[in-house]
Amino acid sequence: MFSKRVKPPQNFGDIRAFLGEGTSFSGTLQFEGTVRLDGRFEGDISGGDLLIIGETATVRADIKVGSLVVGGRLEGNIVARKRVEILSTAQVSGSIKTSSLIVCDGAALNGSCEMRREEAKVVHLNQKRGDEAQGIGLR
């Protein structure tokens, strides 16, 4: 009876940290994995994975993450390596730099956006100089 472990609620999935509604925090948040904020946060946020800002959250922060989903209020600059998704309930003010941006109908976005693609890779072919010239009709 006492040896059984209590399982966390299933809707939390792989969330490693959670700031609930009605709570507030000021400072620096560094994380790996998935983090969800539903309360008030002010400061700096950095992590390699997913940050979720819930509908009830109010966040004033500069953010550098892998991916970001915003459902609440966010004021600050965002750098997301992979993706930013702004839900219909979101209000976002600030600059966004990302590879992929999704803005749902009804969302408020005030600021600038810079779309960055993954860096192109240069492939070097081992060809003779004469072959290169012949291929483009220079002979």
Q: Is residue 2 situated within a structural domain?
A: no
Count CB atoms within 10 A of the CB of residue 46.
15
Q: Is residue 114 situated within a structural domain?
A: yes
pLDDT digits (tens, 9 = 90+) for 1-18: 444 443 333 444 577 677
Number of separate domains in the chain: 1
Residue the block writes with tokens 């109908």: 105
Count CB atoms within 10 A of the CB of residue 101.
17
Q: What residues are paired with 5 via a beta bridge?
A: none
Q: Is residue 5 situated within a structural domain?
A: no
Q: What are the backbone angles phi and psi of residue 70, rounded to the nearest 5°?
A: -120, 125
Q: Which domain holds residue 78?
A: 10-135
Average pLDDT over residues 71-81: 97
- DSSP H or E run through 133: helix 129-135
Residue the block writes with tokens 């072919």: 125
Structure confidence at residue 79 (pLDDT): 97
Q: Is residue 104 situated within a structural domain?
A: yes
Q: Is residue 3 situated within a structural domain?
A: no
pLDDT higher than 60, residue 85: yes
Q: What is the 3-state secondary structure (H, E, C) of 53-76?
A: ECCCCEEEEEEEEEEEEECCEEEC
CB 131 within 8 A of CB 113: no
pLDDT higher than 80, residue 72: yes
Structure confidence at residue 122 (pLDDT): 57
Average pLDDT over residues 111-128: 69
Q: Is residue 4 situated within a structural domain?
A: no
CA-based radius of gyration for the chain: 22
